[in-house]
Amino acid sequence: MRELLGGKGANLAEMNLIGVPVPPGFTITTEVCNEYYIHGKDKVTETIIDEVRDAMHRVEAAVGGAKFADNDNPLLVSVRSGARASMPGMMDTILNLGLNDHAVEVIAKKSGNPRFAWDSYRRFVQMYGDVVLGLKPENKEAKDPFEEIIDEIKKEKRVALDTELSADDLKELVTRFKTVVREKTGNDFPTDPWQQLWGAVMAVFDSWMNDRAILYRKLNKIPQEWGTAVNVQAMVFGNMGEKSATGVAFTRDAATGENIFNGEYLINAQGEDVVAGIRTPQQITLEGSRRWAKLQDISEEKRKAEAPSLEETMPEAYNDLMELQQKLEDHYRDMQDLEFTIQDGKLWMLQTRNAKRTGAAAVRVAMEMLNQGILKEDEAVLRVEPEKIDELLHPVFDLEDLHKVTVVTKGLPASPGAASGQIVFFAEDAELRHKEDSETQLILVRIETSPEDLRGMNVAQGILTARGGMTSHAAVVARGMGKCCVSGANGLNIDYKQRIMTVNGKQYREGEWISLNGSTGEVYEGKVKTKPAEPGDDFKKLMELAGRYAHLQVRANADTPEDAATARRFGAEGIGLCRTEHMFFKEDKIIPMREMILAETTEDRRKALDKLLPLQQKDFEEIFAVMHDLPVIVRLLDPPLHEFLPHNDRGQEEMSQVMNVPVRIIRHKVESLHETNPMLGHRGCRLANTYPEITEMQTRAVLQAVLTLKKKGINSIPEIMVPLTGILYEMKFQEEIIRTTAEKVFLEMGDRIEYKIGSMIEVPRAALTADRIAESAEFFSFGTNDLTQLTYGYSRDDISKFLPIYLDKGILKTDPFQVLDRKGVGQLISMAALKGRTVRPLLKVGICGEHGGEPSSVEFCHTVGLNYVSCSPYRVPVARLAAAQAAIKSKK
Amino acid sequence: MRELLGGKGANLAEMNLIGVPVPPGFTITTEVCNEYYIHGKDKVTETIIDEVRDAMHRVEAAVGGAKFADNDNPLLVSVRSGARASMPGMMDTILNLGLNDHAVEVIAKKSGNPRFAWDSYRRFVQMYGDVVLGLKPENKEAKDPFEEIIDEIKKEKRVALDTELSADDLKELVTRFKTVVREKTGNDFPTDPWQQLWGAVMAVFDSWMNDRAILYRKLNKIPQEWGTAVNVQAMVFGNMGEKSATGVAFTRDAATGENIFNGEYLINAQGEDVVAGIRTPQQITLEGSRRWAKLQDISEEKRKAEAPSLEETMPEAYNDLMELQQKLEDHYRDMQDLEFTIQDGKLWMLQTRNAKRTGAAAVRVAMEMLNQGILKEDEAVLRVEPEKIDELLHPVFDLEDLHKVTVVTKGLPASPGAASGQIVFFAEDAELRHKEDSETQLILVRIETSPEDLRGMNVAQGILTARGGMTSHAAVVARGMGKCCVSGANGLNIDYKQRIMTVNGKQYREGEWISLNGSTGEVYEGKVKTKPAEPGDDFKKLMELAGRYAHLQVRANADTPEDAATARRFGAEGIGLCRTEHMFFKEDKIIPMREMILAETTEDRRKALDKLLPLQQKDFEEIFAVMHDLPVIVRLLDPPLHEFLPHNDRGQEEMSQVMNVPVRIIRHKVESLHETNPMLGHRGCRLANTYPEITEMQTRAVLQAVLTLKKKGINSIPEIMVPLTGILYEMKFQEEIIRTTAEKVFLEMGDRIEYKIGSMIEVPRAALTADRIAESAEFFSFGTNDLTQLTYGYSRDDISKFLPIYLDKGILKTDPFQVLDRKGVGQLISMAALKGRTVRPLLKVGICGEHGGEPSSVEFCHTVGLNYVSCSPYRVPVARLAAAQAAIKSKK
């Protein structure tokens, strides 16, 4: 019935239907809205006026006693808009409709709380004045006339807060409000509740066509013909005396998922008071209350006297609530978050919805509901938001401690987790500090990171950068390491010389403590306690189920044996991307690597490569050993060579000394390797086709490692990947080198093994000509980071300059580096998979960009028939769950 | 008959058929080659041996006298391979086959020239040894054994050149050659001419399957089954005495196209001698000879004595030649380039082919042949290579002067023409020098140029850069200005501080003269005379014809009234790209532009823009006035803002003083605008969507200019283009701003005009989602430079690092920034045009990148149904001709 009643109306109706006591009300359907736009206000009013009166009578009957527009016992109502989909920009809510100078006195008397009555009245006049009578200024910066009056009175009364105003002050407010209404509209504020109601209904209809709502519909492709419904509902009050109360409750524990009903309430209070924190709310259950007292170190006597449970204070209402919460959870088959009000001893449910919960709670609830027989297997798998289980795999802040901290600034939540440490600005210093004391906790703070910083990043607890987006170097590497990272914190000003970072005028020196929340992007001052990750049995069970349902294979991006081990532990079914360049930054390899770069002849280059060969072979042996019996995609050297040379004077002088090469030569090489747009430069197979001997060496290293392990009885499945191909012949030339080298190795070692050669599809041209590339490539791996960069023409290092504005204006719905862009990048991917398979029907196709661990992107990969996704080890569980859900959904 | 006879064999046969005396010969067909690969040598020899003997007898009969393998009067032959398409990597030619120790003596006697006889013999042994007997080393760096022997003998005889060796020395050479053959092959060099012949034929067949030929076929998709033919032809000698001669001739003047037969010959000489320049060749016609003597200041007597014409020395052979040249031109219906030999008074044609010619000659020949009725209109249009007519529009070097120069280094031929001038390293200095003396000739030498150098480039005669490709800033701007430019001269080392450029160790200081050949990329030392461009009437006639046949509209990329005027003069049918950013570099605009960039609030930005508005409006008025009644596409601001700020200390300090802003603020702004990959950064409509007020100002400037001109009775057709769109909403937001601003302007000025809003398609995503973009865009203009950059993932500023290697290895056939890549970029273009037109059937689609002036790219645009191409003004004639040819070809 959502089409007719809108979302809100339908929900209320559903609760009502299953016998949950909701405040009585009725819904004016979306059809009426459309009539309004065709025939106008008068005609529509005429058509429905009798039906509305009848409906109101039914509401009065249900409430029992109070009557709308009745001077002695006035029924107050709320009026809310309610479209099929929730829509910001439309009129939201008008409460307490039906109040006037007479009614307010009656309510004051009945509630015994004149301040409450007058406060409700002045709120109503303000809301109605703003929204229905149109007094709210369109320009956001202009002041609301009602707020101006409140400021006036506060000044006169010399008080700071609204809450300090007395009932008489509020009465005065209402008078002045009504004056301003008269002045601005030329009419008196309507005192007739029916006039108020029709005004509010029409205001809801009008709000369907205001600019913001139209824009929102445009952006979200919501047809204008849907229209909005109007919900009219009797007001109920939890603040009508000692037999009234209000509260919120969860059918299970939202933090842990434990199956225990819990919640808080306040006697003689309104909904907002519970969250506002002015009075301390009390626990609903006796058990909860006792637990709470124990934590607070409060005696049972004191607890009973000052903070008794609802179970104790209003046992009847409590029993009703217990019954209802079970009913609602059973009905919705999910943990519920309830809002209720007890008016004069009678329980009303104001709202129920699926409860927000932590990742741990989500997993536990789903698995317990599966055990309880409430959910079937596939339903249980669908029940956990994949993104959420990430929380189970990373350290988190101690919630208690977190309440005390000061947020210094905010960046992008680049890699989840929690970290506290002392500020350090240089990767080398971090290494040094770590060598001196391996227990030191450090936060590496950089403008941006580069591959030179790798080892420093590895010993730090967390990384904070001033520039760069969600897929900047820092972010990608940190996620790979499972290390907390906040990137692109624009507010940061870093002075490397002085070793000071400045935020909002405040300075933080090297050695001072800060903390990072990698899941929110927040940076805190000082030290905050963290808790380690603890996945547990429910998690294992869920992953097992996911494995059974998923069609997509999930691999990991891993460059070290440690990463590979983590990946395997998390259930990775292979390595989808083993970058070989990170290996070259290790101390024993950077020197021959640099020799190779400085070489002026093929011979000299070969000499340097000969030194690298045994070192790289050893790297591969270690990784293949961990990944035995699972496929490993090794990507040939990808980054531009200048990344392996130091760019500052100090580094160049050091290199000059270590290598015994004049610093002039090094500088000249760095200059000659300089590129205006390094992202579009001499890298990937462009390097390998310039210096084929690099591919020869790397092929040797891979295959010699595999054959060496084979002798020890360890089975490896190597897949060699050529990066950045865009032209068939780039691939063919590489294939030729690899195959020729392989045959030599097989001959030399007297044994041979199976291996595959594939292409990394990351430039649009590769996707467009995939039917050609597939002539040579046995598998495709989409590098979705670069493919996104090139398809949009965005540099992920620079995107922070306009991405926030694009997201804000709705030009982009999501960051395309986080959520795969289906229309553009996705089109290339599905086109390439299709074209590739026309030539090679069994072509294996997967993605290995950052998107491989993002649920919506994983779903897309499933939809277009890819074979696997590959993501950082810590994202493997997320990807597996997302893959399972995609498979289950597409089956349905 | 090409399939059977191969290219060469078919040509020879054709000449023979029309009665041209070619040295008699026969062709062994491609079928035999295939038989060879199926059945092997022996079987094939057996099959054709009788036929070959018969054919040889017919050759003997035709020659009259000499007989193959006859000791007394030996017939010598040449053996050549000849596939359907010319194929490097295959065996080319063996001359003088049939020689042995006996025959050489006969020839020596008959020719009266023992040295010639022995030289022919030693050449034959070497060629046969290398190619047929396989003594040529496969490794290119290894030395040919025959060359080693030549070096030996030269040392012994203490001479430097082969030509200094006597007949006896050559005799000795042959002996030693034969010894090495015996040593290396174990057999004596074959003395039996028949054995020699069969060896050569099989060697041709074998060369069809050598590695280089296989690779070439692979790259060029030539099927292996085509096979190669073998041409056996009698040798004729122009050096058999005073009644023999050899020469080359043109049926018309290859430099000017004048319809006058001309050429050179040498008595008693071989083909190579004419070109080798050891003896001065004589003119063929009497008229030519007299003209030549006049130029050389030689008296008629001396001419007659020392260098008489063929017309005088051998009038009969001359008459035969005159007749033949006319016959051949008539037959091939094009100007011919002939090679002939006169042996003992008898004329033999060795080769005829369509003559290479200058652009001017091409145009004149085509138009005159049209007037003569030899060619029809469409044939005449097809006859001129579009690329060639570029020569008519730019100054060229005086050919006489050019022979004397030294080539210093070579870069890319970035913008055609010729220029001489004094070296200047800074644009500002160039401006100063030009102010002091507007006649000064300058060459601006830079590592690379940036928009700041514009004015300096404008006053220089030519531009030379050390970095950057064919579409670097320098190249694009220079072509736009029609100014000579050599870019990416990697050999250049520029020291700005010392004001010295170093090439190959030699230094050139500021003020020294150099010259640039923009059509070849050569850089010369010193001053070289240039001649201005002179298109002439034939050119006009050709352009008129082109205009009648072309379907594609040709527009120009022009940013100034001067460019626009040039474009219009060359027949541009509108402006396809008016970049607005270049305007901002003018003195009066750079300051408010910088104010805008430094502005921290929208208000301040608006203030600066208000200052720019009247200035920019004036620019547009001037351009629209020139382009009255033709459409002008104005592109909104495109480059990243940092391009408008000075990047060096000096510039920043100057700016600080001029604008009265602390240098610290300027530096901070420059830093904050810094981007890792500026090509992928904050530019195009990303800027305009960040600062919509820029679009407002530019829209105002365009439309106010149009309405102002309208009052003066001048009609403009403005088309506003949004650059770098990739997302529908980027376009929609801009469209909204433009339309709203337009309505305001129309209201203010009390008048309205028609205008279009379009999208520049330059990021792949725009092409992929063109059906969406077309919802908002009324026209598409493909920015093929950027589209190529992003489709390949190449930065045109950095591509010189690997492009030469890719071209060399055949990974790329052509530079995709010069010739549009049809498979990748072209696929996106045709996809986008198709998708766009499904939504908006009358969508106007064109390209405005550098490809718009490149013939093969223009042809592609015609093929996929675009509406127009736009190129720099000086390329407009090229594009128009290419468009006409594409239309004519597709009709056929």
One DSSP character per residue, A71-99 reads: SSSBPPEEEEEEESS--TTS--EEEEET-
Q: How far is CA B116 from CA B95, B104, B112, B119, B174, in A?
A: 13, 10, 9, 5, 13
B689 touches chain A (CB under 8 A): yes
**B760 to chain A, closest Cα gap in Å:** 13
How many Å lie between the alpha carbon of A582 and the closest alpha carbon of chain B? Answer: 21
- Say how far apart CA B705 and CA B715 lie, in whole Å: 11
Q: How far is B633 from chain A (nearest CA, A)?
A: 23
Q: Could A679 and B682 be called an inter-chain contact, meaning their C-beta atoms sit closer than 8 Å?
A: no
Dist CA B417 CA A194 (whole Å): 86
For A173-330, list the strands marked E by DSSP.
228-234, 245-250, 262-267, 282-283
Q: Does B791 touch chain A if contact means CB atoms closer than 8 Å?
A: yes
SS3 B65: coil
Cβ–Cβ < 8 Å for B442, B512: no
Note which residues in 725-764 of chain B have CB less than 8 A from chain A.
Answer: 726-727, 729-730, 733, 762-764
Nearest to A716 by CA among A777, A634, A612: A634
Amino acid, res. B1 = M
Phi, psi of A708 (to 5 degrees): -65, -45
State the DSSP code for A869.
E
A116 near A76, Cβ under 8 Å?
A: no
Interface membership of B219 toward A (CB under 8 Å): yes
Looking at beta carbons, which residues of chain B come within 8 Å of A801? 675, 681-682
| Burial class for A312, CB neighbours closer than 10 Å (0-12, 13-18, 19+) | middle
Q: Which residues of A does the annotation mark as catalytic?
A: 473, 848
Q: Which residue has the tokens 């403590």?
A: A513
Nearest to B680 among A677, A733, A769 (CB): A677
What is the distance between the alpha carbons of residues A286 and A311, in angstroms, rounded to a whole number? Answer: 6
Alpha-carbon Rg of chain A, whole angstroms? 33
* Dihedral (CA of B651, B656, B659, B665) sign: positive
Token pair in block for residue A791: 């398809």
Tell me whether A241 touches chain B (CB under 8 Å).
no
Nearest CA of chain B to the CA of A33: how many Å? 28
Residues 822-841 of B with CB under 8 A from A: 823-825, 827-828
Find the residue in B nearest to A813 (Cα).
Answer: B729
Nearest residue of chain A to residue B218 (CA atoms): A729
A789 touches B at CB < 8 Å: yes
* A729 in Cβ contact with B811 (< 8 Å): yes
- Provide the 10 A C-beta neighbour count for residue A103: 24
Chain B residue with the nearest C-alpha to that of A728? B811
To which residue do tokens 């990430």 refer?
A390
User: What is the C-alpha separation between B348 and B351, in angstroms, rounded?
Assistant: 9
User: Is A214 in the B-facing interface, judged by CB distances under 8 Å?
Assistant: no
Q: CA-to-CA distance for A758 and B778, rounded, in angstroms?
A: 42
* Cα–Cα distance for residue pair A59/A12, rounded to 1 Å: 14
What's the pTM value of the predicted model, to 2 decimals? 0.82
Half-sphere exposure of B671 (CA within 13 A, CB side): 11
Interface list for B 642-681 with A (CB within 8 A): 675-681
Which of B762, B798, B802 is nearest residue A677 as measured by Cβ atoms?
B798
Spatial contact of A513 and A527, defined as CB atoms under 8 Å apart:
yes
- Find the CB nearest B793 among A763, A805, A824: A763
Q: Which of A765, A812, A824 sits opposite B792 (nearest CB)?
A: A765
Q: pLDDT value at position A277?
A: 56
A817 touches B at CB < 8 Å: no
Indicate yes or no: CB of A802 within 8 angstroms of CB of B768.
no
The nearest CA of chain A is from the CA of B793 a distance in Å of: 5
Please list the ranges in chain A whose pLDDT falls under 70. 140, 219, 271-278, 471
Question: Strands B575-579 and B553-557: what pairing?
Answer: parallel
Answer whether A734's CB lies under 8 Å from A685's CB. Answer: yes
Q: What share of chain B is helix, strand, coil (3-state, %, to 5)?
A: 50, 15, 30
Instruction: Name the helix (H) or strand (E) containing B785.
Output: helix B784-792
Contact B364/B375 with Cβ under 8 angstroms?
no
- Among B675, B786, B824, the residue with its CB nearest the CB of A765 is B824
Q: Are A315 and A286 in contact (CB under 8 A)?
A: no
The structure tokens 């010189």 sit at: B800
Across the interface, of A690, A769, A812, the residue whose CB is closest to B727 is A812
Residues of B with active-site annotation:
473, 848
Q: CB contact, 8 Å: A372 with chain B? A: no
Token pair of B868, please? 């127009």
As to burial, measured by CB atoms within 10 angstroms (0-12 exposed, 13-18 middle, 19+ buried), residue B180 is: middle
Smallest CA–CA distance from A823 into chain B, residue: B769
The torsion defined by the Cα of A471, A473, A478 and A481, in degrees rounded to 10, comes to: 110
Closest by CA to B229, choosing from B77, B477, B5, B488, is B5
Query: Which stretches of chain B drop beneath a pLDDT of 70?
Result: 140, 219, 271-278, 471
Substitution target from B220, B789, B798 for chain A, most A beta carbons within 10 A: B798
Rounded to a whole number of angstroms, the distance from the CA of A687 to the nearest CA of chain B is 8
Using DSSP bridges, classify how beta strands A93-97 and A77-83 pair: parallel, antiparallel or unpaired.
Answer: antiparallel
Looking at residue B726, what is its pLDDT?
97
Residues in a beta bridge with B404: none
By the 10 Å C-beta count (0-12 exposed, 13-18 middle, 19+ buried), A251 is classed as buried
A689, A733, A809 member nearest B689 (Cβ): A809
